[in-house]
Amino acid sequence: MKLTKCIGIISYLPDIPWVRQVRMVRITSLFKQLNELWPDIDILVIAQNWQKYQPPEIKNKVIKFNYDKALGILSARKILRQEFLKLNYDYIIMLDDDIKIIAPGNSSAEYIELLDAHPTGFCFRRPFTNLEYDHSNEHPYGCGQFNLCAISRFIYEKEPLVNIDIDKNEGFEDSIYACLLYHKYPEYDFEPPKELICDIFNYITPTTWGGHKTKKDLDLAMYNTWRIQTYIANHKELPQELLNERT
């Protein structure tokens, strides 16, 4: 069965001129890659502070949701989920706006075929380099879990995003959400092509959040992630205080 799919991107272009320019180059490159890999898949973009920036002309249909200022990572992800669920797509493939996809051979086509074969499933990339450390050993995925992950409407309707804000050092929401799905819905998990990867640690594009984080901030976020993921592994659910806050 051929499913309807979209690509979901949360994007923020900062005001600092040189950082803005670098990130515009990166997202422009990503749009062009998507045009080459999956030209028939629509792209949903939570476009924050884009101002006059426009995507390049590509075959994909680009649906923008414009916001004049930064929403924060958690709020932007929630809005992307809400907009996806309003539309008639069976699957969402999520990406950050600054990554480079590496898709040798037939891996990009195999990826789409796997989605069609698992209409109610989800998948996250497995680690591909020793830089892909994880914040615990409670799931098998590489870090940056919301890059090239695919989540079916079936799963995304069942599981709202977790109310964990990395901007407040509460934890890495992408890792925790991936851990929750892995332990709560193991029968729906499937593995994407190992060859299909993305360049997360490029050390070129300034990150939208990490540059202002101190070691103390990161240590606290990693500790909170470990604590929550350990609970999930033992109980197959979020801690009660997080369950009470889900939206």
Provide the pairing of β-strand 100-102 with 197-199. Answer: antiparallel
Task: Tell me the C-alpha distance between 11 and 76, whole Å.
Answer: 8
Please give the C-alpha separations between residue 13 and each of 37, 90, 174, 239, in angstroms, as whole numbers: 24, 29, 21, 34
Tokens of 31: 């749009």
> 242 in a domain, yes or no?
no
Residue 115: predicted pLDDT: 98
Give φ, ψ of 93 to 5 degrees. -110, 120
Provide the pairing of β-strand 91-96 with 149-152. Answer: antiparallel
The domain in which residue 56 lies consists of: 5-162+185-206
Question: Is 208 within 8 Å of 20 (Cβ atoms)?
Answer: no
Residue 159: predicted pLDDT: 96
CATH code for the domain in which residue 48 is found: 3.90.550.10
Question: Is 95 within 8 Å of 151 (Cβ atoms)?
Answer: no
Q: In order along the chain (247 residues), what is the average pLDDT of each group of 10 residues?
A: 94 94 95 98 98 97 96 94 97 95 96 98 82 64 90 97 90 94 97 89 54 77 92 94 72
Residue type, 221: A
> 36 in a domain, yes or no?
yes
Tokens of 247: 């939206």
SS3 221: helix
Residue 207: predicted pLDDT: 60
Contacts of 121 (CB under 8 A, 6+ apart): 115, 150, 152, 155, 188, 189, 190
Cα 146-149-150 angle, rounded to 5 deg = 130
> 171 in a domain, yes or no?
no
Contacts of 149 (CB under 8 A, 6+ apart): 93, 94, 122, 123, 124, 125, 178
Question: In which element (H, E) is residue 16 found?
Answer: none
Residue type, 37: L
Task: Tell me the C-alpha distance between 56 and 158, whole Å.
Answer: 35
> 237 in a domain, yes or no?
no
Number of domains comprising the chain:
1
Residue 17: predicted pLDDT: 94
> 239 in a domain, yes or no?
no
Scanning the structure block, which residue is given the tokens 């990693």? Answer: 222
> 39 in a domain, yes or no?
yes
Question: Is 14 within 8 Å of 100 (Cβ atoms)?
Answer: no
Task: Tell me the C-alpha distance between 115 and 109, whole Å.
Answer: 10
> 174 in a domain, yes or no?
no
Residue 212: predicted pLDDT: 57
Provide the pairing of β-strand 91-96 with 5-12. Answer: parallel
> 132 in a domain, yes or no?
yes
